[in-house]
A and B are shown apart, each in its own frame.
Chain A
Amino acid sequence: MEKLIISPAPHIHSGDSIAKNMYGVLIAMVPALLASLYFFGLGALIVTLTAVAACVLFEFLIQKYILKSEITIMDGSAAITGLLLAFNLPSNLPVWMIIIGALVAIGVAKMSFGGLGNNPFNPALVGRVFLLISFPVEMTTWPVVDPLATTYLDAETGATVLGILKEGSASLPAISDMIIGNIPGSIGEVSAIALLLGLVYMLIRKIITWHIPVSILLTVAVFTGILYLVDPQTYASPLVHLFSGGLMLGAIFMATDYVTSPMTFRGMWIYGVGIGLLTVIIRTWGAYPEGVSFAILIMNGFTPIINFYVKPKRFGEKPKKA
């Protein structure tokens, strides 16, 4: 016995780590990734590899040469940003645009605020929205589903469900196709079932709690349900809204981002309901057919004020008699 370690309690630790949580999220995204590779083939592969590689590389370069700080690319958070960015892109987007999106996501939205834990807005969504307003045509030209396709930039394109709703140009695909993912759209958003599988995994591993996804989906279902009951001719049914566009992807993987979502269960409800309402408002009356990304980014902006005013249920807050 040479020397003993002295430190304040507690003297044991759960063994949980940032990397464990981040890799858990990556595992949860595997079903959706496989679905995108199946439905969009080569294009999905190129988009995914480019986005992930670019995000990890930019984080590495910024930490090594600009910040001269510890390199944290192995904690998995840059890879998540890359994969989420890819999930939000069409499978025929040119590589150089993806790289610009990755630079904005990692460089502007994440590292310029101080890296993991300090960014006010979801980096992948900032990257996506930047691309959407910079390249509106390329970002809204969606290849049609072509299982295991070998085409990339020259893929055949078609309208998304929400695009059809906005334009009224064609008839809607079947709900079953929407659930499985057999519809045009961003590569990671189309398969609701694969995304839900990821949600179940994250809930079992206790990586996230149910509050945010449930509050968002419930709000969208209720709000669109009311509109549908009022006028089924004008407004789409709640099922169409739930299983189309980026709602599942947003509710399960984007809105639940640790850093940019509230810290209390009550706060999560406010945040989730806000995202749900904004999503439906933008989809129904806005200029864009899809509003999930904007809704999440707007509510990201409200997160600090929610944390300031909404406190957890304190012990002894309302003493109950047995």
Chain B
Amino acid sequence: MRTFRIGGIHPAENKFAAGKKIKTAAIPKQVVIPLAHYIGTPADPIVKRGDVVMVGQMIGQASGFISANVHSSVSGKVVKMDVQLDASGYKRPAVFIEVEGDEWLETIDRTPDIKRECTLSKQEIVDKIKAAGIVGLGGATFPAHVKLMPPPGKKAEVLIINAVECESYLTCDHQLMLEHAEEILVGVTILMKALEVNRAIIGIENNKKDAIQLFKKLAVNYKGIEVETLKVQYPQGGEKQLIDALLRRQVPSGTIPVEVGAVVQNVATTYAVYEAVQKNKPMIERVMTITGKDAPSPGNYRVRLGTYLSSVVEEAGGIPEGTGKIVGGGPMMGRSLMNLNIPMAKGSSGVVFIREAESIRKPVKNCIRCTKCVTVCPMGLEPYLLMAQSERNMWPEMETNRTMDCIECGSCSYTCPSNRPLLDYIRFGKSTVGGIIRSRTSK
């Protein structure tokens, strides 16, 4: 079985919500729709206080290249344009809408029928995906249409669908694949058309045997789509790791996947692409996992964007007793949340409750130079050295030791027997070194 060739770890999977049917969460009384995504420029609001909006109506216009449109996920009245604390820990612009009924734009096809044919041209598909405000739903929220427009001179040869879901606890992609396999496969054909490639590989980790079986069975009806079983290994969902696992090609430092002929899209993004292109449905909701070792009913929920996490969590039985930390996203790369009064955003893949005992970091000991961090680093870096250099503000040395290659997967900190905060220091060094590089190149 294939996997990536450098480093990697295998944390306890704890996929408690696996196999739990997707439940549609109740529409809240008020939504707060963030205009900013995890990366890129926030969208410019195109509604004002007092406006009446419908489900699917655009309320934020992308501004700049790395930016995405934002649509209303509910029908009702815009009551406030303000800032809102989001999962990033910062206050960022958002649109506050008071819900009245559930009126959808008429153009949106809400029937469950699967529409396979797509007669649109390459450019029309890209435009539709762009208009629908689709971003990468794996967590990085990179606008999906940007990846479909390779820089001049570069040509994609193969589309890779990231159905790895390598983070422990999370199961939303897995369940989506079980319930919407056909739609996802149609989505893949649409993306293939947009990229003008005739080969696509869906990479699924071996802990999702039912999904592998289902996709292998259905994929025979679609030309050029392969399904590949991958060994369970974190961080296989990392773009570069997944390409290495599937194609045995390593994206060179500082370049993007199309350099080796690959474009990667997440499986949930592919589903959103299907809905946008075939059903005219913009990015207004997504599936997320609510889970934890003590969660009363771990499950997968289809949630409208802008819903406060507190209301979804309430529906899933509330915060379990003895919770020390609430993580937005997966436990390896997610963010610990200050509270649940945070609106659900496009990148919100889950809420994970961590027990108090596991939430508290153990005391930091001396580095015993056991080499485990070097062994697990999927980018072939030396975390122990980068941390030591970051502590001493040795920025040029950090750059030489390729700190900018770090994908912040956290495997080093996870593994360290001395509980050293390796990634904390590397992140700090990365942001400083990144600033130095930018100021140097802008001169």
Residues of A at the B interface (CB closer than 8 Å) are 1, 4-14, 16-18, 20-21, 72, 75, 77, 114-118, 209, 258-259, 261, 263-264, 307, 311-322
Asked if B359 lies at the interface with its beta carbon under 8 angstroms from chain A, I say yes
Contact call A18/B365, Cβ cutoff below 8 A: yes
Is chain A's interface secondary structure helix, strand, loop, or mixed overall? Answer: loop
Q: Is B58 an interface residue (CB 8 A)?
A: no
Contact A12 B336 (CB under 8 A): no
A8 with B240: CB separation less than 8 A: no
**Bound CA span A5–B410, Å:** 18
Question: How far is the CB of B127 from the nearest CB of chain A, in Å?
Answer: 33
Docked pose: A116 CA to B368 CA in angstroms: 7
Q: Assess the A11–B327 pair: CB atoms within 8 A.
A: yes
Known: A10-B410, A263-B369. A316 touches B338 (CB 8 A): no
Given contacts A7-B361, A263-B374, 18 further A-B contacts (CB under 8 A): A4-B323, A4-B324, A9-B335, A12-B331, A12-B332, A17-B419, A18-B418, A258-B369, A311-B401, A312-B380, A312-B381, A313-B6, A315-B244, A315-B253, A315-B379, A316-B252, A317-B250, A322-B249
User: Once the chains are docked, how many angstroms separate the CA of A177 from the CA of B3?
Assistant: 45
8 A Cβ contacts from B125-171 to A: 168
Which residues from A are CB-within-8-Å of B253?
314-316
Given A1-B319, A118-B366: A315 in contact with B240 (beta carbons within 8 A): yes
Q: Count chain B CB atoms within 10 A of each CB in A315, A317, A320 and give the residue with the most.
A: A315
Partner of B382, one of A5, A13, A311: A311
- Listed in ascending order, the chain B residues whose CB lies under 8 Å from chain A are 6, 9, 11, 168, 240, 244, 247-253, 260, 319, 323-327, 331-339, 352, 354, 356, 358-362, 365-372, 374-375, 377-382, 384-385, 401-402, 405, 408, 410, 413-419, 421, 423-424, 427
Q: Which residues of A contact B249 (CB under 8 A)?
A: 319-322
Is the Cβ of B368 less than 8 Å from the Cβ of A259?
yes
Question: What 8 A-B pairs have minimum CB-CB distances, sorted nearest first?
Answer: A10-B410, A117-B366, A314-B380, A316-B250, A16-B417, A315-B379, A5-B359, A258-B370
Interfacial chain B residues near A5, Cβ < 8 Å:
324-325, 336, 356, 359-360
Q: A7-B361, A263-B371 are in contact. Are A14 and B9 (CB under 8 A)?
A: yes
- 29 pairs from A and B in contact (CB 8 Å cutoff): A4-B323, A4-B324, A4-B325, A4-B336, A5-B336, A9-B331, A9-B408, A9-B410, A10-B331, A10-B332, A11-B358, A13-B413, A14-B414, A16-B417, A18-B418, A72-B365, A114-B366, A117-B366, A258-B368, A258-B370, A263-B374, A264-B374, A311-B401, A313-B6, A314-B380, A315-B250, A315-B379, A315-B405, A316-B240
Chain B residues, Cβ within 8 Å of A311: 382, 401
Please give me the residue from chain B that is nearest to A307 by CB atom: B385
Please determine whether A322 and B247 come into contact, CB atoms closer than 8 angstroms.
Answer: yes
Q: How far is the CA of A118 from the CA of B405 in the complex (A)?
A: 28
Shortest distance in angstroms between A264's beta carbon and chain B's nearest beta carbon? 6
Complex Cα distance A313/B380, Å? 6
> Which A residues touch B252, using CB under 8 A?
316, 319
Compute how far the CA of A17 lies from the CA of B359 in the bound complex, rounded to whole angstroms.
17
Minimal Cβ-Cβ distance residue in A for B356: A5
Which chain A residue has the least Cβ–Cβ distance from B336?
Answer: A6
Known: A1-B319, A11-B354. A18 touches B368 (CB 8 A): yes
Determine the chain A residues whose CB is within 8 A of the CB of B377 once the complex forms: 312
**Given the complex, which residues of B lie within 8 Å of A13, measured CB to CB?**
358, 361-362, 413-414, 419
B6 to chain A, nearest CB (A): 5
Give min CB distance, B35 to chain A, whole Å.
24
Most-contacted residue by chain A among B260, B362, B369, B385 (CB, 10 A): B369
CB distance from B421 to the nearest CB of A (A): 8
How far apart sit A20 and B360, CA to CA, in the bound complex (Å)? 19
Query: How far does the Cβ of B425 sit from chain A's closest Cβ, in whole Å?
Result: 10
Q: Check A116–B336 contact: CB distance below 8 A.
A: no
A318 CA to B421 CA in the complex, in Å? 30
